[in-house]
Structure 1
Amino acid sequence: MHKKRVRNRIIWAIVGVLIIVAGWFSFAPNPLGTHKTQSKVVTVGVVGLSKQDETIWKSVQKDAKQKYGITIKLKNFSDYTQPNKALANGDIDLNSFQHYAFLDAWNEANHGTLTPIGKTYIAPIRVYSKKYKNIKDLPDGATIAVPNDSTNESRALYVLKNAGLIKLKKNVKLATIADITSNPKHLKIKEVAAEQTARVLDDVDASIINNTYVQAAHLGDKETIYIEPLNKDSEQWINIIVARKEDKNNKIYKDVVKAFQTEKTKQLTQKLYGKTQLPAWGVKLK
């Protein structure tokens, strides 16, 4: 009987020790010096994913998985007002749909602190005309249509500036017609909604049209009379991968950028877009 009691006490003592050990591993912070690992599933917000962009991102997803063990999931939004809100709210981890100018304007309007962590591409916009073959052929008093929203109008005016047609006030980030300081050809700048710039082409001498609307209007090299150059003025139109400010140094997110900025992505972009969309990382701006 005595031996039985001793044996039972030993058993209960062992059970007690096991419970304490299990509790330690369950609740103790950082047991045995191990570190909490970050999730390697990264959700990236995009807008209106085209077949070409889908092909590029599939390649990026494959490289991210093979090289860095990261699973990239894409969340496709229907318009440009949504991805920055979703990122700020923590509904997604990164987004990739906007250029520097759009991000700056959004942060200012929303008191945001979203931060770019990597360049993707730039899509140079073009000046189109059905009446002239070269932008230098535009006559005195020619009418040029430009998008009327703040970022795209500014971009269009800088295109005209780089073409040598107008001069703008210095150090103006978002230029308007009021910032034109010289207009030797007395050009008439017609402000229209961005989606109308292609539709009014028959009624004006030239029109600066966002790439979004070019394909639907069946415009190409034949109607192109000038292409936006890659220089300091165009830097703000480079598209970017964006994170929350507190995540700007997150190694996993930096590896997502690395998975995008590859020679394979460059070659795919060239194959799918030709000269209408150019890889922007590593580009030296004059």
Structure 2
Amino acid sequence: MKKSTKWIIGIVVILVIIVAGYFSFGNKKSASSQTVTVGIMSGTSKDDKIWNEVAKIAKDKYKLDVKYKKFTDYTQPNKAVANGDVDIDAFQHYDFLADWNKSNKGSIVPIGKTFITPIRVYSKKVKSINDLKTGATIAVPNDATNESRALFVLKNAGLITFKPGTKQATLSSIAKNPKKIKIKELDASQTARALSDVDAAVINTNFAQTAGLNYKSAIYVEPINKDSKKWINIVAAQKKDKNKKAYQEYVKAFQTKKIKNLINKEYGQAEIAAWDLKIK
């Protein structure tokens, strides 16, 4: 065999070994990575900063490839989890999930806390909730979940009391209303627009932001206590997948000091990291 032929064969053998080694060992990292698809609601650029940073931490620390699927309708993410179109979702609080499971005979469960967005009372007529006069009108959202939350806010503000055992509050749950407050039920998206026509309104943060209201101008803020525990937002999964390693690792990627600091930077007190809150 000629020297040049041996030389060529030697090079080919070396290349074969290198290529084989790459696919056997060098590609191990990509082979071991796992994709997790998370259903979220379409939001602001601030929201995107949070989600993207969580994905980066999940990639760097746990080798997870996080993909987000955005929805514009709150009824869709849980359906997507139930159908397997997404692996987990992160858009709702405990109470919303409980209500959805009840209405849809679902078995989706919370697997980790994320944040809480305190609901607030706004007014163009008074500077403090204590300044509301007898017979004042307060607008509240009219859907079951948000109306209950708004009524609990009025209860915590000392304006009304509930009948014993109230968990999901409605107007019929009110036991005492010493100031004879008139409660006007409106679609949640209309509460901010009603501010000029009522004395005050309980407005969800997203609708307050859309209306250009500064959360610091609120006359009352939902306290973080046992009543507000069910309003903590969560990551949720199908019950059979609740202990799946990759999904738990996504939760861990969210529940980091870096994300807590980023939430504080982007939202101030409008949104609060909730996984380590001490609730009494």
TM-score normalised by the shorter chain: which range applies? Answer: 0.7 to 0.9
Given the alignment of the two structures, is residue 95 of structure 1 paired with residue 89 of structure 2, yes or no?
A: yes
Given the alignment of the two structures, is residue 202 of structure 1 paired with residue 196 of structure 2, yes or no?
A: yes
Given the alignment of the two structures, is residue 140 of structure 1 paired with residue 134 of structure 2, yes or no?
A: yes
**Equivalent runs, 1:146-157 vs 2, <5 Å:** 146-157=140-151
**Equivalent runs, 1:73-222 vs 2, <5 Å:** 73-221=67-215
Are residues 174 and 42 of structure 1, via their aligned partners in 2, closer, same or farther at CA, if it must alter by over 3 Å?
same
Once the two structures are TM-superposed, the CA of residue 218 in structure 1 deviates from its matched residue by: 1.8
Aligned to 1:277: 271
Are residues 190 and 130 of structure 1, via their aligned partners in 2, closer, same or farther at CA, if it must alter by over 3 Å?
same
3-state SS of the aligned residue for 1:200? helix
Given the alignment of the two structures, is residue 42 of structure 1 paired with residue 36 of structure 2, yes or no?
A: yes
The alignment's TM-score, normalised by the length of structure 2, stands at 0.87
Give the letter aligned to residue 110 of structure 2: P
Aligned to 1:241: 235
> What is the aligned counterpart of 2:246 among 239, 252, 261?
252
Give the letter aligned to residue 161 of structure 1: K
Give the letter aligned to residue 122 of structure 1: I
- Whole-Å Cα distance in 2 between the matches of residues 38 and 101 of structure 1? 36
- Whole-Å Cα distance in 2 between the matches of residues 222 and 109 of structure 1? 36
Q: Is the contact made by 2:124 and 2:195 (CA closer than 8 Å) also made in structure 1?
A: yes
Moved more, 189-198 or 212-221: 212-221
- Whole-Å Cα distance in 1 between the matches of residues 38 and 53 of structure 2? 14
Give the letter aligned to residue 125 of structure 1: I
Give the letter aligned to residue 76 of structure 2: Q
Moved more, 91-100 or 57-66: 57-66
Q: Is the contact made by 1:125 and 1:211 (CA closer than 8 Å) also made in structure 2?
A: yes
Moved more, 273-282 or 162-171: 162-171
Give the letter aligned to residue 106 of structure 2: G
Give the letter aligned to residue 252 of structure 1: A
Larger radius of gyration: 1
Gaps of 5+ in 1: 1-36
Q: Is the contact made by 1:130 and 1:223 (CA closer than 8 Å) also made in structure 2?
A: no
Q: Is the contact made by 1:40 and 1:70 (CA closer than 8 Å) also made in structure 2?
A: yes
Once the two structures are TM-superposed, the CA of residue 182 in structure 1 deviates from its matched residue by: 0.6
Once the two structures are TM-superposed, the CA of residue 173 in structure 1 deviates from its matched residue by: 2.3
3-state SS of the aligned residue for 2:150? helix
3-state SS of the aligned residue for 1:214? helix
Q: Is the contact made by 2:33 and 2:65 (CA closer than 8 Å) also made in structure 1?
A: no
Once the two structures are TM-superposed, the CA of residue 283 in structure 1 deviates from its matched residue by: 0.3
The alignment's TM-score, normalised by the length of structure 1, stands at 0.85
Give the letter aligned to residue 46 of structure 2: Q
- Whole-Å Cα distance in 2 between the matches of residues 131 and 222 of structure 1? 16
Once the two structures are TM-superposed, the CA of residue 49 in structure 1 deviates from its matched residue by: 3.0
> What is the aligned counterpart of 1:67 among 61, 77, 80?
61
Are residues 221 and 108 of structure 1, via their aligned partners in 2, closer, same or farther at CA, if it must alter by over 3 Å?
closer
Aligned to 2:13: none
- Whole-Å Cα distance in 2 between the matches of residues 216 and 60 of structure 1? 25
| Number of residue pairs matched by the alignment | 250
3-state SS of the aligned residue for 2:147? helix
Per-residue CA deviation, residues 194-234 of structure 1 (Å, 9 max, x unaligned), is 11101110111100011111122221256411000000100
> What is the aligned counterpart of 1:227 among 221, 224, 229?
221
3-state SS of the aligned residue for 2:269? coil
